[in-house]
Homo-oligomer: A and B are copies of this chain.
Amino acid sequence: MKNVPDTLEKLRETGLKLTPQRMAILEVLSGDTSHPSAQAIYQEVRSRYPMISFATVYKTLKVLEGIGEIRALTINEDKLNFDPDTSPHHHFLCRRCGRIIDVMPADLSVPQSVGGHKVDRCQVYYYGECADCIDSD
C-alpha cells in the first residue's frame, strides 16, 4: 500500500466496505516497516481501538493481501509476517533479535520464467545477524 487514502479508494473500487476497523488497521499498517505478525498488528490496533477482535484483524489482512495491498512473508517458520510495502525488495531475518529488515540489492528484477516454469512472484530471504546485533557484542 502506498498510503491510507489510496488504499481506501482501492477497497471502495473493489466493493468492500470502509469500516472503522479497517481504517484503524490501515492506519497501523501505513508506514510500518517492522513486518509485523498478525498478533502484533492486533495488539497495535487494539491499543488505539480497544474493541476490535483478532478475527477482524486477521480477515482484514487476508482481504488486503487478496487485493494486493499488502504481502505475507514466510520468512519465519512458525508465523506469517505482513509487509505493507509491496514494491520489489528482499528481506533479512536476524536470528538474534528476530527483526525483519528490508534489503534493496542492486538487481531486483524478477525473471519471467525459471527452468521453463512461469513465475509471477519471487521472494528472497536472507538469514543471519543484523548490524545492530553485531555492534552490540
Q: Which residues of A contact B (CB under 8 A)?
A: 72, 74-77, 80, 90, 92, 94, 101, 103-105, 111, 113-131, 134
Cross-chain contact of A121 among B90, B113, B116, B128 (Cβ < 8 A): B128
Instruction: Tell me, in angstroms, the Cα distance from A84 to B129 when the chains sit together.
Output: 25
**Copies of this chain per assembly:** 2
Interface of A is mostly: strand
Instruction: Tell me, in angstroms, the Cα distance from A113 to B113 when the chains sit together.
Output: 27
Instruction: Tell me, in angstroms, the Cα distance from A76 to B131 when the chains sit together.
Output: 29
Instruction: Tell me, in angstroms, the Cα distance from A118 to B133 when the chains sit together.
Output: 10
Give every chain B residue within 8 A of A116 (Cβ-Cβ).
131
Instruction: Tell me, in angstroms, the Cα distance from A5 to B115 when the chains sit together.
Output: 31
CB–CB A126/B131 < 8 A = no
Give every chain B residue within 8 A of A77 (Cβ-Cβ).
72, 74, 80
Cross-chain contact of A119 among B92, B117, B118 (Cβ < 8 A): B92
Give every chain B residue within 8 A of A80 (Cβ-Cβ).
77
Instruction: Tell me, in angstroms, the Cα distance from A113 to B131 when the chains sit together.
Output: 10
Give every chain B residue within 8 A of A94 (Cβ-Cβ).
117
Among A75, A80, A125, A126, max chain B CB count under 10 A is at A126
Apart from A121-B126, A123-B127, what 14 extra A-B contacts exist at CB < 8 Å? A74-B76, A92-B115, A94-B117, A114-B126, A117-B126, A117-B128, A117-B131, A118-B130, A119-B128, A120-B127, A120-B128, A120-B129, A121-B127, A122-B125
